[in-house]
Amino acid sequence: MYLKNIPRALSFLFKDVNTYVKNSDSFYLTFDDGPFNTTTPLLLQKLKKLNVKATFFCTGKQAEKHNDLMEMIISHGHIVGNHGHSHLNGWKTSLEEYVCDINRSKLKLQTNLFRPPYGKLTWKQYQKIKATNKIVLWDNMPGDFDTSLSLSQVTSNFKKNLKSGTIIVLHDNPKSIDKCLAILDSISSEEIKSLKFETLNCLL
Ligand SMILES: [Zn+2]
């Protein structure tokens, strides 16, 4: 079970969680869990070919292993967000341990953008973290990591939810990369020109 497309109406309850970018005509691609040396360079190549910029929510653990890939992400004009050091599930982790984990990766990644792994935070974690971070979730989750979904299902999920201001979550981990790249391939060159894809710099 995972949180799929988070309804925009929910932002009324969680005012400091960004599930989409308000008053924006742009589209926001985000990639979670990397970087990985077997997949991230392929993704960067694809984004370059499409001429779009995106946001990479990296884990501190992966970032520490791959300084070269972190530099590559930045040099391609993308930005980096914090996805915690060790990808903890907030619902199963104490406030103290959770905050310590995300502060550790924040130090490495140098960003205030934070995406909770699995989209899961307790109320206390939410209160504490929002004071010094911009919390980012999504409203478009095609499910590239979900092995029970076919490629045509994930592509149709992606297209169905392509609306202005949308924050799309994909994954550059080895398990998801094939579907992730295929979803990007499903955007035709005419669509790419008409849709403006940007980084989440606007939230900072
Ligand atoms: Zn994740």
Distance 113 CA to ligand 1 centre (A): 14
pLDDT at 14 (0 to 100): 75
Contact, 43 vs 177, CB < 8 A? yes
Nearest alpha carbon to residue 53 among 93, 34, 25, 80: 80
Q: What is the CA radius of gyration of the chain?
A: 16
Checking if the pLDDT of 1 tops 60, the result is no
Q: Which value, to the nearest 10 degrees, does the dihedral of the CA atoms of residues 13, 18, 20, 23 take?
A: 90
What is the mean pLDDT of the segment spanning 193-197?
Answer: 87
Per-position DSSP letters for 161-194, written without gaps between them: T--TTBEEEEE-STTTHHHHHHHHHTS-HHHHHH
pLDDT at 9 (0 to 100): 63
Could you give the angle at the alpha carbon of 33 between the alpha carbons of 152 and 22, nearest 5°? 75
Tell whether 1 is covered by a domain: no
pLDDT tens digits for range 30-82: 999 999 999 999 999 999 999 999 999 999 999 999 999 999 999 999 999 99
Nearest alpha carbon to residue 39 among 176, 147, 183, 174: 174
Q: Is 171 a catalytic residue?
A: yes
Distance 84 CA to ligand 1 centre (A): 9
pLDDT tens digits for range 134-172: 999 999 999 999 999 999 999 999 999 899 999 999 999
Distance 89 CA to ligand 1 centre (A): 10
pLDDT tens digits for range 71-108: 999 999 999 999 999 999 999 999 999 999 999 999 99
Tell whether 9 is covered by a domain: no
- Give the active site residue among 32, 33, 139, 144: 32
Tell whether 86 is covered by a domain: yes
Q: Which residues contact 157 (CB under 8 A, 6 or more apart)?
A: 5, 140, 141, 142, 143, 149
pTM of the model: 0.94
Distance 190 CA to ligand 1 centre (A): 31
Tell whether 11 is covered by a domain: no
Whole-Å CA distances, 3 to 19, 84, 140, 181:
12, 18, 10, 22
Residues forming beta bridges with residue 32, ordered by sequence position: 57, 171
Checking if the pLDDT of 184 tops 70, the result is yes
Q: How many domains does the chain have?
A: 1
Contact, 94 vs 122, CB < 8 A? no
Distance 160 CA to ligand 1 centre (A): 23
Q: Is 85 a catalytic residue?
A: no
pLDDT top residue among 133 and 13 = 133
Q: What percent of the chain has pLDDT over 90?
A: 86
Joined together, the tokens standing for residue 55 give 């946001």
What is the mean pLDDT of the segment spanning 119-125?
Answer: 93
Joined together, the tokens standing for residue 102 give 């995300």
Checking if the pLDDT of 3 tops 70, the result is no
Distance 143 CA to ligand 1 centre (A): 12
Tell whether 128 is covered by a domain: yes
Domain containing residue 79: CATH number: 3.20.20.370
Tell whether 192 is covered by a domain: yes
Tell whether 4 is covered by a domain: no
pLDDT top residue among 7 and 112 = 112
Tell whether 5 is covered by a domain: no
Joined together, the tokens standing for residue 72 give 């590559």
pLDDT at 164 (0 to 100): 94
Q: What residues make up the domain containing 88?
A: 16-203
- Residue owning tokens 């341990």: 97
- Give the active site residue among 66, 78, 85, 171: 171
- Residue owning tokens 């292993």: 65
